[in-house]
Amino acid sequence: MCDSCGCSQPENSVTITRPGRQEGMSGHGVAGHHHSHQAQGRVVEVREAVLGKNDGIAAHNRDFFRERRIVALNLVSSPGSGKTTILERTIRELHQEIPMAVIEGDQQTMLDAERIDATGVDVVQVNTGAGCHLDADMVHRALHQLNPAGNSLLFIENVGNLVCPAMFDLGEAAKVVIISVTEGEDKPLKYPAMFDAASLCLINKTDLLPHVDFDVARCREYGLRVNHRLEFFEISARTGEGMSGWLAWLRRQF
């Protein structure tokens, strides 16, 4: 049992690495302290302690971002929604206007970090092992390696998961939840905590709408039912359709 979020995970080691480097920072992050068969009261007690510690580190991260005028965005979604592809196109469109850096979160591999590194943007990979989310301490340690410039955008691509990342404040300015049209439009109702925590929802892969059974209007309705403040953009990161609205939203953050 993961004390922090209630999911079943073995103990894991977190590794933070830059693309092309062999060395990394290893250690047991907040997500890596696990026990099984705990009494419910003990689970709640430990969860509150873990989240309290996380919130303290998140506040430290937020102060760092505020002092440097860094807009940090926490990108969250199910696996395969297209987060990395969205980042690649966003970087191509905005890199001459706004300095950017990326923290990539995955359980294993450097694959996504290598894709971002190929764009020329500075990136650090956080591998969580069996961990199902990034926490504030992982981001804090990644920032020591990344050292992002002031007046910049920092994208934090979280582990693909619509449950646990909703609970963990990383110090970000906003959570951006991404859903693709190859998923069900009922995702906001099935995962309300994530959509309630988000400020913006990107509905991606709209180029596939003629080929799938996905009701965009219903998805929006469900999202607003959970969070009436939620903003939406319908985009295709592959074709570029609808990206102008997302890019304009990013520019308005400064």
The DSSP annotation for 148-212 comes to PPSSEEEEEE--S-SSGGGT---S-SEEEEEEETTS-TTHHHHSHHHHHH-SEEEEE-GGGGGGS
Strands 152-157 and 100-106: parallel
Is 48 strand, coil or helix?
Answer: helix
Contact criterion met (CB below 8 Å) for 154 and 64: no
Q: Determine the pLDDT at residue 20.
A: 80
Q: What is the pLDDT of residues 92-105, one digit of tens each?
A: 999 999 999 999 99
Q: Determine the average pLDDT of the residues in 104-121.
A: 97
**Count of residues in the chain:** 254
Is 35 strand, coil or helix?
Answer: coil
Q: Determine the average pLDDT of the residues in 129-133.
A: 91
| pTM greater than the 0.85 cutoff | yes
Rounded mean pLDDT of the chain? 89
Rounded percentage of the chain residues whose pLDDT exceeds 90: 80
Q: What is the pLDDT of residues 52-84, one digit of tens each?
A: 999 999 999 999 999 999 999 999 999 999 999
Q: Determine the average pLDDT of the residues in 108-122.
A: 97
- Residue 86 pLDDT > 70, yes or no? yes
CA distances from 89 to 99, 100, 119, 135, 159 (A): 15, 13, 9, 26, 20
- Residue 51 pLDDT > 90, yes or no? no
Is 59 strand, coil or helix?
Answer: helix
Residue 245's identity, in one-letter code, is G
- The domain locations on the chain are 26-251
Q: What is the pLDDT of residues 5-34, one digit of tens each?
A: 555 444 457 899 999 865 444 444 434 444
Query: Hey, which residues does 75 pair with through a beta bridge?
Result: 157, 176
Contact criterion met (CB below 8 Å) for 91 and 118: no
Strands 122-127 and 152-157: unpaired
17-26, 36-45, 110-119: least confidently modelled range: 36-45
Identify which has the larger pLDDT, 20 or 131: 131
Query: Hey, which residues does 91 pair with through a beta bridge?
Result: none
Identify which has the larger pLDDT, 224 or 45: 224
- Residue 207 pLDDT > 90, yes or no? yes
Rounded percentage of the chain residues whose pLDDT exceeds 70: 85
Q: Determine the average pLDDT of the residues in 231-238.
A: 98
Q: Determine the pLDDT at residue 130.
A: 85
What fold, for 26-251? Rossmann fold (3.40.50)
Q: What is the pLDDT of residues 141-171, one digit of tens each?
A: 999 999 999 999 999 999 999 999 999 999 9
